[in-house]
Chains A and B, each alone.
Chain A
Amino acid sequence: MLERLFQTNPTISLTRASMKIWFRDRQAIFWTFFLPLVLISVFGLLDFGAFRTVDLGIIDRADNDASRKLIGDVRALDTFDISDDLSEEEEREELLDGERDLVLIIEPGFGEAQSPVQRQVTVIYNQGRAQESAAGQTIIQHVLDEITFAEGNISERYSIEPIPVDSRNLKFIDFLMPGVVAMAIMQMGLFSVAFSFVQLKSRGVLRRLQATPILPASFIFAQVFTRLSVSILQTLVLVSLAVVAFDVHLEGNLGIMLLLALLGGGVFVSMGFAVSGWARTEDVAAPVANAIALPMMFLSGVFFPRDAMPEPLRAVADFLPLSYLADALRNVAVDGASLWSQWENVLGLMVWLAVTFFIAIRLFRWE
């Protein structure tokens, strides 16, 4: 019964056919999965071999025998990459920028009395680098414990007051991965729709379909459904590979990224339909699609932050659909942003969806 429905429902069978066609297209697979993987891999390998030491900043407000002993003991361990010549403010800045894993603050009067306050150090740690900061805290606590033992008074143990902060721990590949995902979605949506549709049109396949009682909506649903599924699959594959193979930090919720992929996919698929509605042949569709895609690739902050751009260019680049998609994906992936916090990017994508959808409908022709 269900199988029969599967075989004889036009929309379902067209969708299955369009999936088969898509996944049998080696060129599409190459552009959609392979090339982005290569991009991520190349940059992943460039980042390779960075066995990290734990970066520790030290602020010694006490500047007494006890604090100097503590610092000396910590330094002797050779585990940390230590910086102790910056001001507290500068150190906190460094921490927020992800340049430090922890900042150790030794308050005035440290170790001079037995009161709990004077037997405590503050450690502000970078939440995003869970492993490094946890290891760092354990080691500092270990050093403090040794001092406690040496003093022979175990009742008042030296302790740590840990304060977590959210830092941006950007490796280049962390920054790059969401951008490449966004770019891959754009390429897939725009090119796969524009090309295949113009091809179907110019070869007369659409006309042959028109000779059947098919509803145009069934056909378009099949095409769109296929592409949106691919955009989700793409995101899943690329993000998983980046996390598993290149240790990319995924702070945010993958589900939110998939939702964004769906929305972004929608924008670029309807852009593809607009191009294919307008272009009669593949020879026209190709340069038009390229003229749309290439500038976005370089202006939308896929490979480098848009901050680096001159102001007038940036003012334009900020409004590109790929910018919205790349930013939203990046904020979620890197900062663990919620979907709600990305409302501006989501709104931007929705406006683009509305505009491109409207243009696609106006330009769309079967013949």
Chain B
Amino acid sequence: MEQPENIIQVQDLRKSYGDLKAVDGISFGVSVGEVFGILGPNGAGKTTTVEILEGMRVPDSGIAVVNGIDVRKDPRAVKKIIGIQLQSSAFFDRLSLVEILDVMASLYHRQIDALVLLRDVELDDRADSLFKELSGGQKQRFSVASTLVNDPILLFLDEPTTGLDPQARRHMWELVQRFKSEGRTVLLTTHYMEEAEELCDRVAIMDHGKIVAMDRPAALVDSLLSRGFQKERTENLANLEDVFLDLTGRALRDE
């Protein structure tokens, strides 16, 4: 089978809600195995862009191709090969974590070992719990586990660390790095710049529905510096987060 060069290819994508141009003619590509970040303030159009790529929203115009499949023509075919973590996920009440994962897998005609997935996100000891009994960080981790039931080649993570404590955030970062090492492509959105710097091979910065910059994080920083930007800085070799982690440890907490 011919492997497309870019697993995601977007060309002049547009989507308006009334007068608001949520996505205003953006184009970009993501290559296989890359961790690609979309950054931007609230309302910049990140989520709408991601949702179009996931086949959850129909664009007004433009082309969105995922793994060679036109998302507008066959959103179901796209959904089969991707994993989607929504900003706020919820699952069935009254089903245990294992039961939920089994059902989710069946939606892809698959059978999985739910415990293995739970172990990957350190939730195997909560296998028989209900989703609503989990803490915030656990919910987020479970939500990530649920996106893996179909062994996706491409993962969409929408603000995966929003609302997490530093330990849970670090753990999520490790997960993303593991996905990358497994050869999966990851597209994530975030508000946290240090997260983008830590995780992303390339980032696109969006504002008012347009991509205003796109490159490797280091290259973006270099180009800013080359324009003569100077930050008032004292040479801090550590920051407050380092202090926090030093004092409280890196192990995951179950609030």
Q: Which residues of A contact B (CB under 8 A)?
A: 4, 7-10, 12-14, 17, 20-21, 24-25, 199-200, 203-205, 207-214
Contacts and interface: CB of A to CB of B under 8 A. Distances in A.
Contact of A7 (B54, B90, B102): B102
A208 B86 contact: yes
Interface in B52-82: 54, 56, 76-77, 79-80
Contact of B92 (A7, A17, A212): A17
Interface of chain A: mostly helix, strand, loop or mixed: helix
A213 B81 CA distance: 9
B154 interface: no
Contact of A205 (B76, B90, B109): B90
A205 B79 contact: no
By Cβ-Cβ distance, the 5 closest A-B pairs, closest first, are A13-B106, A211-B84, A203-B90, A24-B94, A213-B79
A212 B111 contact: no
Contacts of A204: 86, 88-90
Given A208-B86, A211-B54, A8 B99 contact: no
Nearest to B109: A8
Contacts of B110: 8
A208 B106 contact: no
A21 B94 contact: yes
Contact of B76 (A8, A209, A213): A213
Nearest to A10: B107
A21 B88 contact: no
B147 to A, nearest CB: 8
Contact of B103 (A17, A199, A200): A17
Nearest to A7: B111
A20 B99 contact: yes
A231 to B, nearest CB: 20
B125 interface: no
Contact of A14 (B77, B84, B106): B106
Interface of chain B: mostly helix, strand, loop or mixed: loop
B106 A7 contact: yes
A4 B95 contact: no
Given A204-B89, A211-B84, 19 more contacts: A7-B106, A8-B110, A10-B106, A12-B106, A13-B102, A13-B103, A13-B106, A20-B99, A21-B95, A199-B93, A203-B90, A204-B88, A204-B90, A207-B56, A207-B86, A211-B54, A213-B76, A213-B79, A214-B107
7 contacts: A7-B102, A24-B94, A204-B88, A207-B56, A208-B146, A212-B107, A213-B76
Contacts of B90: 203-205, 208
Interface residues of B, number: 29
A24 B84 CA distance: 28
Q: Which residue, of B84, B95, B106, has the highest number of chain A Cβ atoms within 10 A?
A: B106
B196 interface: no
Nearest to A215: B76
A192 to B, nearest CB: 13
B104 interface: yes
Nearest to B89: A208
Nearest to A25: B94
A17 B56 CA distance: 24
Q: Which residue, of B92, B94, B146, has the highest number of chain A Cβ atoms within 10 A?
A: B92
Interface string B208-239: 00000000000000000000000000000000
B173 interface: no
A73 to B, nearest CB: 69
B192 to A, nearest CB: 23
Contacts of B91: 205, 208
B86 A9 contact: no
B244 interface: no
Nearest to A12: B106
B67 to A, nearest CB: 14
A146 B107 CA distance: 80
B108 interface: yes
B79 A4 contact: no
A199 B109 CA distance: 26
Contacts of A203: 90
A24 B93 CA distance: 10
B108 A212 contact: yes
A211 B79 contact: yes
